[in-house]
């Protein structure tokens, strides 16, 4: 499993985004100078400067979507920033039900595996994607943001039906770098490790990372992975001490 982020883009006015600050060599030099002199500015920023959780349905027991908002925009990771002022409100389903698969490409152990995330493969995930995009539109149209005249560039305000938004979610969606579960813990035929992180049927081999999660966590996976590592280290130490 993985958290799929749908990276919408809105142009904005009457403010400065990283698109504008990083547009020229002079702007880049000023950011570097600000960091060296004051340890402030864009070079001190995390990837996203704003985060929020919400429910797309009041019947949900807890929040089921999350936003990561960035003061920049680009076509894809690794591409140059756009030359217009824009922000990226990225919306993410924190309880995905879609499951992908990892399979061997061939008999060569040096070959990269075949990875198929199967994003948006369930009706539940497609419904949450549509709801998340509509919720993002509501926020961007709120009175507090009127002075910045946000205009939806991606997926585009002309897309209004659920079918159009599902298609757009597939086009704009990308990993948020939280893949888990390829060596899940359990007792069923697809499980790889037991509750002591030992690989079924193999002596003296454990898996100690995010791949052992049977189901993805609703929050970011870093802290749970640290916990798994600490528990794994404790299990290994206890085994050798005994």
Cβ atoms of 126 and 166 closer than 8 Å = yes
- The string of DSSP letters for 155-185 reads TTTT--SHHHHHHHHHHHEEE-S----TT-B
* Residue 93, φ and ψ in degrees, nearest 5: -80, 115
Q: Is 39 left (phi over 0), alpha (psi -120 to 50) or beta?
A: left
- The string of DSSP letters for 19-32 reads HHHTSSHHHHHHHH
Best CA proximity match to 1, nearest among 225, 229, 232, 217:
217
CA distance 27 to 138: 33
Tokens of residue 202, six digits: 């193999």
158 is catalytic: no
In 4-152, where does DSSP find H-type helix? 18-21, 25-38, 123-140
Beta bridge partners of 199: 193
Catalytic residue among 3, 68, 82, 178: 178
Instruction: Tell me which residues are annotated as active site.
Output: 178
């Amino acid at each position: 499993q993985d958290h799929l982020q749908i990276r919408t883009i809105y142009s904005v006015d009457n403010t400065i985004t990283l698109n504008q600050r990083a547009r020229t060599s002079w702007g880049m030099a000023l950011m570097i100078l600000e960091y060296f002199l004051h340890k402030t500015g864009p070079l001190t920023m995390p990837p996203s400067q704003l985060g929020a959780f919400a429910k797309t349905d009041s019947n949900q027991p807890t929040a089921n979507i999350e936003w990561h908002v960035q003061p920049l925009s680009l076509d894809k990771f690794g591409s140059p920033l756009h030359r217009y002022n824009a922000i990226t409100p990225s919306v993410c389903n924190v309880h995905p039900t879609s499951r992908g698969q990892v399979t061997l490409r061939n008999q060569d152990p040096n070959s990269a595996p075949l990875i198929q995330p199967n994003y948006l493969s369930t009706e539940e995930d497609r419904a949450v994607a549509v709801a998340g995009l509509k919720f993002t539109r509501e926020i961007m149209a709120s009175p507090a943001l009127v002075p910045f005249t946000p205009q939806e560039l991606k997926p585009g305000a002309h897309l209004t039906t659920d079918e159009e938004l599902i298609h757009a979610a597939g086009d704009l969606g990308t990993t948020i770098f939280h893949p888990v579960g390829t060596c899940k813990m359990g007792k069923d035929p697809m499980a790889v490790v037991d509750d002591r992180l030992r690989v079924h049927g193999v002596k003296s081999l454990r898996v100690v990372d995010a791949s052992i999660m049977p189901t993805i966590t609703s929050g970011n996976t870093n802290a749970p992975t640290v916990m798994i590592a600490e528990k794994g280290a404790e299990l290994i130490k206890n085994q050798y001490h005994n």
